[in-house]
């Protein structure tokens, strides 16, 4: 048994239709593929239809499941409505929404234009809100149960320099998750979040570690367990949170970062740098005084 293996039993998501925004690439693609393996029907959306269609074909071939690819810019509520209608036409219903689409890049904040700031907030916060509002209202009107799962990150609560629009937007998504978990529970709608630490993807690495930065800043070095994440271990948590096994989990954010954010937070965690010989010397000199 290993963290690179699927965790849930076969058929755990059978009968569910799951919409994954940003589902054509990276983590969205990995989570979507695992949902298909567990028996779900899948709808993937993003702006680039060519990417979505290619991914959908590859996913169907790999899993034997059914994938509907629909282009949608999450910044436009009408396009979200279109995805909902297409999903209904093909699968009869949508049970789960995974808000995974995001935009991000590193920059000193004083160098950001107003449009740069707005672009990230519009995709991450307002985009997730559009999808949540459009589909949440449909579920409420139909008296249908539903589950939202939102991908944030650990700087949603710590904040982080150089990604300020993303940090502000992800904090907003986390607040929305917790707020709706309470407000919409009466409609049988659950809302949870996952906060991943570093998981290598083309999309994230090209924007957060551009050029030579990838050689200078090895993300694994910041992680107490000494490595970056494997997509399957994220997919395992995601599958659990959208499955009925997690029916009593609501308003939660599950961190999966190998202890990374706490390493930065704990006052004395950098004493890791002290070699064993120095601890030996300190212990010996303590002994002498007694």
- Our CB check for ligand HXC shows the closer of 32 and 103 to be 103
Alpha-carbon distance of 132 to 29, in angstroms, equals: 20
Alpha-carbon distance of 199 to 258, in angstroms, equals: 11
Residue of 34, 84, 155, 187 marked catalytic: 155
Letters for 93-122 (x = contact with ligand HXC by CB under 6 A, - = none) are ---------xxxx-x----xx-xx--xx--
51 binds, among ligand HXC, ligand NAP, none (CB under 5 to 8 A by kind): ligand NAP
DSSP secondary structure letter of residue 205: H
Residue 212, C-beta contacts closer than 8 angstroms, at least 6 positions apart = none
DSSP 106-174: ---GGG--HHHHHHHHIIIIIHHHHHHHHHHHHHHHHT--EEEEEE--THHHH--TT-HHHHHHHHHHH
Residue 11, both tokens: 């058929």
* Nearest residue (beta carbon) to ligand HXC: 103
240 binds, among ligand HXC, ligand NAP, none (CB under 5 to 8 A by kind): none
- Our CB check for ligand NAP shows the closer of 18 and 74 to be 74
The question of whether 155 is a catalytic residue gets the answer: yes
Backbone angles phi, psi at 192, to 5 degrees: -135, 170
74 binds, among ligand NAP, ligand HXC, none (CB under 5 to 8 A by kind): ligand NAP
Per-residue CA distances from 107 to 199, 205, 215 (Å) = 20, 14, 18
Verify binding: residue 207, ligand HXC, rule CB under 6 A. yes
Alpha-carbon distance of 121 to 119, in angstroms, equals: 6
Alpha-carbon distance of 56 to 42, in angstroms, equals: 9
Verify binding: residue 42, ligand NAP, rule CB under 6 A. no
Of residues 32, 136, 198, 258, which one binds ligand HXC by CB under 6 A? 198
Under 8 Å between Cβ of 148 and 97: yes
Please list the helix, strand and coil fractions of the chain in percent, rounded to the nearest 5, in that order. Answer: 55, 15, 35
Verify binding: residue 136, ligand HXC, rule CB under 6 A. no
Alpha-carbon distance of 195 to 219, in angstroms, equals: 16
- Our CB check for ligand HXC shows the closer of 166 and 192 to be 166
107 binds, among ligand NAP, ligand HXC, none (CB under 5 to 8 A by kind): ligand HXC
Name the one range near ligand NAP by CB under 6 A: 87-95, 183-191, 198-206, 242-250.
198-206
115 binds, among ligand HXC, ligand NAP, none (CB under 5 to 8 A by kind): ligand HXC
Interface residues toward ligand NAP, by CB under 6 A = 21-22, 24-28, 46-48, 51, 72-75, 100-104, 123, 127, 151, 153, 196, 198-199, 201, 203-204
Active site residues: 155
- The residues binding ligand HXC (CB under 6 A) are 102-105, 107, 112-113, 115-116, 119-120, 153, 166, 198, 203-204, 207-208
């Amino acid at each position: 048994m290993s963290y690179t293996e699927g965790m849930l039993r076969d058929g755990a998501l059978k009968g569910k239709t799951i919409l994954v925004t940003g589902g054509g690439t990276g983590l969205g693609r990995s989570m979507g593929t695992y949902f298909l393996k567990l028996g779900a029907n899948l709808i993937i959306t993003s702006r680039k239809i060519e990417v979505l269609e290619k991914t959908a074909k590859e996913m169907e071939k790999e899993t034997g499941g059914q994938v509907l690819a629909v282009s949608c810019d999450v910044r436009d509520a009408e396009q979200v409505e279109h995805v909902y209608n297409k999903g209904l036409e093909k699968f009869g219903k949508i049970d789960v929404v995974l808000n995974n689409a995001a935009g991000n890049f590193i920059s000193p904040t004083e160098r950001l234009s107003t449009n740069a700031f707005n672009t990230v907030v519009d995709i991450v916060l307002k985009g997730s809100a559009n999808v949540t509002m459009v589909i949440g209202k449909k579920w409420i009107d139909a008296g249908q149960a539903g589950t939202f799962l939102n991908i944030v990150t650990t700087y949603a609560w710590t904040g982080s320099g150089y990604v300020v629009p993303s940090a502000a937007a992800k904090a907003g998504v986390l607040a929305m998750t917790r707020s709706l978990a309470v407000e919409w529970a009466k409609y049988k709608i659950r809302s949870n979040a996952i906060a991943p630490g570093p998981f290598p993807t083309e999309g994230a690495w090209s924007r957060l570690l551009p050029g030579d930065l990838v050689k200078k800043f090895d993300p694994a070095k910041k992680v107490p367990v000494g490595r970056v994440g494997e997509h399957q271990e994220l997919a395992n948590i995601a599958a659990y949170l959208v499955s009925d096994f997690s029916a009593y989990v609501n308003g939660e954010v599950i961190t999966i970062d190998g202890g990374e954010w706490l390493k930065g937070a704990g006052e004395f965690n950098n004493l890791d740098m002290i070699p064993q010989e120095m601890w030996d010397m300190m212990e010996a000199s303590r002994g002498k005084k007694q």
